[in-house]
Structure 1
Amino acid sequence: MRALASLCTPSVVQGTHTFKIAGYSLQRGLGVGRYLSSAAFDVGGYLWRIEYYPDGEMEMKIGDYASISLDFVSTNSEVRASFEVRLVDQANKLPPLVLLSQKMPIVFRSHPPPYVGKDFLQPSLYLQDDNLVIECSITVLAESKVAVTATSVDIQVPPSDLSNNLGELLKAGEETDVTFEVRGESFHAHKNVLAMRSPVFKAVLFGPMGDKTRWTMNIEGIQPAIFSALLHFIYTDSLPSMGHLYGDDGEEMVKHLVVAADRYAMERMKVICESILCKNLNVQNVTTTLALADRYHCNQLKNACLEFITSPNRVQDVVESEEYAKLKRSRPAIIVDIFERATKSRKI
């Protein structure tokens, strides 16, 4: 008798995506439930995305947690896949830390999309130069085939390096067309980049009242270090490292950046600065921070200051401080806000 046999083999496509988060410490304070998203990447003809929550996806009662999730972002699609998401030590001293792992394939659908996520303690050991690197490996199983007539090739798309390129462009000073004089220091920049990022610069450089042929501009009322940080944010969408600043110096730097962000209508930069100040509130600085938030329309920071001040275990210390007395003299209207917030808190 003749034995017959057939072989059914699954069509498997594997791919790995690297997601690098630069300036990690500055992303802290983004807020619970808010995330940083990788670029959508293709594995097996399907689109995926990593979402990283610096402050956690949900409020955690104990511990300092971050969260991560893997999202299936292809539309009108369904696929079986396994995956692993891990932290990578850039110095190669620590083994990869697996955050999410699914060895047996599960079904991913566009509607409703499956939730794949996890909370974990802040990854301080895996930070290098304030950068965090996440790798995601996905194995996609296509329909099983009796015969394989072609090999599927997955072309890996590198992560975006646009901000790095623009940062290098600013540093190199190539093809600049405007120079800013700030208290004796010169800063060279590109008009189109400035106009694209700041409506104030756009009006000054290209608006009806602007001088399109002007090459040099004097900037008053701002320190050179602050203007340098502003340009850095315009080109890279991130604040420069302030690791050399500590305590009051770092706090004052961030407050000056709030003023600069307001002056040039850089709303994202202002919110980032608000989040930094919010995480460092204390009895000594909360009233001055509140005055800053009120003056420059930082509503989220103002609410955080009011909540801090009216907390039952802090209100007495704040009211008795010298800074609170100065606040009453300089901005008496804020005292009304504090009183109203305290009244509402007692009713609750």
Structure 2
Amino acid sequence: MNLGTPTNTSANSTSSTSSSSTTGSGSTEDVTITIYPIGIKTYGCLPPFLMRKHTLFKRLFVHVSNRFCIDENELLFFFQEKLLPDQCPGDVGLLNGDIIVVRRVPPKARSQSSNVKAATSAFVCEIGSLFDNPSFSDISFVLSDGSILPSHKNVLSSRCQRFKAMFQGSMKESQESELKVEEHSPAVFRKMIEYIYTDAMNEEDMEMILKLIIIADEYLLESLKGLCEQKLIGEINIANAPLLFSHSDVYNCKQLKKHALNFILSSIKRIAGTKEFERDLSTSPGLLLEIIKEMAPLYDSGTKRRKDVEI
């Protein structure tokens, strides 16, 4: 399948020879790319694809979704940043031999019953209304900026094992009506408590999400950590992949670490020369060793490249 227009030919043999020598089998308007799937089951290696520099990516997206038998809306494509349907190889500086990463983002599971979904939403909204609400509050957190966050021991204990341990038995926290919080910023701590009450994490700032992973790990909130991981997985790019790989290792974010490593492997030539790679991984020999071990099979001298497929 050819997504672009046929290669231009010329009556002038010299011009034709020059064009052929530039790309080997196509014109200077052609780029050969490789699709690197992450989180998608494939059978065998995908061959390289041949694409015109000014062909819109939406043609490529349709072709790949058909090849994988996956709805196009469930696929995300990345080069250095997320690729958009109305962009083309020329817009993003895609060159011969470059790799496009494609990841699957499954649609959110639908509730089996609309009545159950409505009842659950009403319950969550009612509990959520207690967040930062002094009504029936039996514990208050004094944050580092001097502000007070009123809360409820029953709600916190039912949702968080660390709070449950703090408020039960003979621990001194069980007798206190106020607790000082100095190790985390007010914004981060409030976000965590808000999640406990609402079961939702509506945050887009990457720096805040990284801090939420730290506090979620400390307070044993695996569900919050999982939401943060999913947010970050969709934002992995050349600039932040080393940081996310390192951060996920420290705070045991297995899914985020897996996706960050796969992204680094797929773009190792570009990432290895960046200041972010040196800053975030040069002091982590264990992580560098992981990368080297995973790279070894990719550079097996016995591996044979398959013929390019035009799309």
Tell me the TM-score normalized by structure 1.
0.53
1:295/1:207 CA distance change after superposition, 3 Å: farther
Task: Say yes or no: does 1:167 pair with 2:128.
Answer: yes
Q: Hey, what does 1:179 align to over in structure 2?
A: 140
1:301/1:173 CA distance change after superposition, 3 Å: same
1:165/1:290 CA distance change after superposition, 3 Å: same
Structure number with higher relative contact order (C-alpha < 8 Å, ≥ 6 residues apart):
2
Distance in 2 of aligned mates of 1:226 and 1:305? 24
Write the letter of the residue equivalent to 2:199: D
Q: Hey, what does 2:257 align to over in structure 1?
A: 302
Distance in 2 of aligned mates of 1:344 and 1:210? 55
If each structure's strand is expressed as a fraction of its own residues, which one has the higher value? 1
Task: Say yes or no: does 1:266 pair with 2:215.
Answer: no
Distance in 1 of aligned mates of 2:299 and 2:71? 26
Distance in 2 of aligned mates of 1:328 and 1:218? 35
1:263/1:134 CA distance change after superposition, 3 Å: closer
Counterparts of residues 208-247 of structure 1 (less than 5 Å): 208-239=170-201, 241-242=202-203
Conserved 8 A contact 2:132-2:151: no
Task: Say yes or no: does 1:336 pair with 2:289.
Answer: yes
Q: Is there any run of 5+ residues in structure 1 with no aligned partner, and where?
A: 1-30, 34-55, 67-121, 124-132, 138-155
Write the letter of the residue equivalent to 1:306: L
Conserved 8 A contact 1:288-1:323: yes
* Alpha-carbon offset, residue 196 of structure 1: 1.1
Task: Say yes or no: does 1:327 pair with 2:280.
Answer: yes
Tell me the TM-score normalized by structure 2.
0.59
Deviation per residue, 1:84-139 (Å, 9 max, x gap): xxxxxxxxxxxxxxxxxxxxxxxxxxxxxxxxxxxxxx99xxxxxxxxx99989xx
Deviation per residue, 1:205-225 (Å, 9 max, x gap): 224434322011111221111
Q: Hey, what does 2:46 align to over in structure 1?
A: none
Measured on the aligned residues, the alpha-carbon RMSD in Å equals: 3.3
Q: Hey, what does 1:318 align to over in structure 2?
A: 271
Selected match of 1:193 from 155, 171, 184:
155
Write the letter of the residue equivalent to 1:197: R
Q: Is there any run of 5+ residues in structure 2 with no aligned partner, and where?
A: 1-38, 42-64, 76-105, 304-311
Q: Hey, what does 1:129 align to over in structure 2?
A: none
SS of equivalent to 2:291: helix
Write the letter of the residue equivalent to 2:152: H
Counterparts of residues 120-131 of structure 1 (less than 5 Å): none
Q: Hey, what does 2:234 align to over in structure 1?
A: 279
Deviation per residue, 1:7-35 (Å, 9 max, x gap): xxxxxxxxxxxxxxxxxxxxxxxx889xx
Distance in 2 of aligned mates of 1:229 and 1:337? 33
Counterparts of residues 144-159 of structure 1 (less than 5 Å): 159=119
